[in-house]
Structure 1
Amino acid sequence: MTTTRLSTLLGDALRRQRELHSLTQRELADRAEVSQTTVARVERGVQTPNMATLERLFAAVDAQLTVGLEPLDAHVDAAIVELTARPVAERIAAAGVDKAMDGLGDIPFVFDGPTAALLQGAPVPVPAVDIALAWRDADAFTEWLTRKYAHRWHEKWQEFGYLALDPREPGAHRWQTMVGEIRARMLDELPEAIEIRHGERRYRVVPLAEVEITDARAAGLLRRYRRQRAESPLGARRVGSAG
């Protein structure tokens, strides 16, 4: 049941082909002689069936699988290249930062991790909005998660499920909500923050130097970005303001 990059890619490909053929999950399941549950779980990336079943699923939408190789994590480098070419405002919108900020309302927080790096100009992928919160605001945050019909990340099953929402309860500090996925770093006190302005909006963020120390994901993405920038003089001149 573990979600992997490959299972996510397979699920996305199957869903696109099914929608291209205007099929429901039930109709595809009937064509491939599998259950609708199997189709749903494959499309969500939480189940990778055996090769025979995969071939039947794709054959049912007039497609077949091919096998190829690429350098490890090449998709991350490709995402950074793609983001580099986009204006910062587009990157922020695509990451759902404003939607999350408006949704969180009066809960005290600062942007953290890859999200803070993005807001400070680094063209890094942001699959979830990262924030830092103080433990004293755990009750307010839990109430907010409840109102936003949140599901918490289940480490064992590698999917969002019906776990206790309270960050003080055991579990990953990662939730799927009505405003997108939220990842929280819970601290005794909010970290020192700086204010970043984009357009008419202001964002309180953890400084980039601190982000690199406290968040291994962000540090790894920034290393990849800087390596690309160093290897491409044109790219360095175009996006050199990200530090």
Structure 2
Amino acid sequence: MTPGELLRETRRRHGLTQRQLAIRARTSQAAVSRIERGAVSPTVETLHELLWLMNEELVIQAKPVDWGFDVNLIKSRLALPIEERLRRGVSHSRRMNEIRGIVGRAGS
């Protein structure tokens, strides 16, 4: 959600017009409109102040990115000695070849 979409959604939820919010913020209706349309990108401070005028709090948080794989598992594998990583890689390759052989025979 963009800052403008957040502002518009919040303003509408509070039953305010752009003009009413602008009066509270001591700015123009056009300025509120520009933010909501995405014509300008407000600073975090400006967005915080506009939301605060509607008794809302802007909360920004960081969270880990879900890459679709276990980063900690990869880190633990990389911490293994190279010999162990190679042994596991060869073992995995052999298992995959066995599976390919089984699947190949089943499809014949």
Equivalent in the alignment of 2:5: 12
Distance (Å, rounded) in 2 between the aligned partners of 1:59 and 1:50? 14
State the TM-score, normalizing by the size of structure 1. Answer: 0.25
Give the drift of 1:49: 2.1
Amino acid at match of 2:4: G
Partner of 1:102: none
Q: Which has a greater percent of helix?
A: 2
Q: Deviation per CA, 1:137-191, whole angstroms, max 9, x where unpaired?
A: xxxxxxxxxxxxxxxxxxxxxxxxxxxxxxxxxxxxxxxxxxxxxxxxxxxxxxx
5 Å-filtered alignment, 1:94-113, equals: none
Measure, in 1, the Cα distance between the counterparts of 2:48 and 2:16.
17
> What stretches of structure 1 move > 6 A for 4+ residues in a row?
none
Give the whole-Å Cα distance in 2 for the aligned partners of 1:59 and 1:35. 17
Q: 1:35 maps to what in 2?
A: 28
Unaligned 5+ runs, structure 1: 1-7, 75-243
Residue in structure 2 matched with residue 63 of structure 1 by the alignment: 56
Higher relative contact order (Cα pairs below 8 Å, separated by 6+ residues) = 2
Give the distance between the partners of 1:36 and 1:25, measured in 2 at CA.
6
Q: CA RMSD in A?
A: 2.2
**Structure with the greater alpha carbon radius of gyration:** 2
- The one-letter code sitting in structure 1 at the alignment partner of 2:36 is E
The answer (yes or no) to whether the contact 2:51–2:57 under 8 Å persists in 1 is yes
Number of aligned residues = 66
Structure 2's unaligned 5+ residue stretches are: 68-108
Per the TM alignment, residue 31 of structure 1 is displaced from its structure 2 partner at its CA by 0.6
Q: How far apart, CA to CA, are the structure 1 residues paired with 2:61 and 2:38? A: 19
Cα offsets for 1:51-101 (capped at 9, x unmatched): 3322221111111111123538x9xxxxxxxxxxxxxxxxxxxxxxxxxxx
Indicate whether 1:52 and 2:55 are aligned: no
CA distance in 1, matches of 2:60, 2:32: 21
Q: What is the aligned-residue identity percentage?
A: 38
Q: Distance in 2 between matches of 1:63 and 1:41?
A: 20
Q: State the Cα distance separating 1:15 from its structure 2 match.
A: 0.7
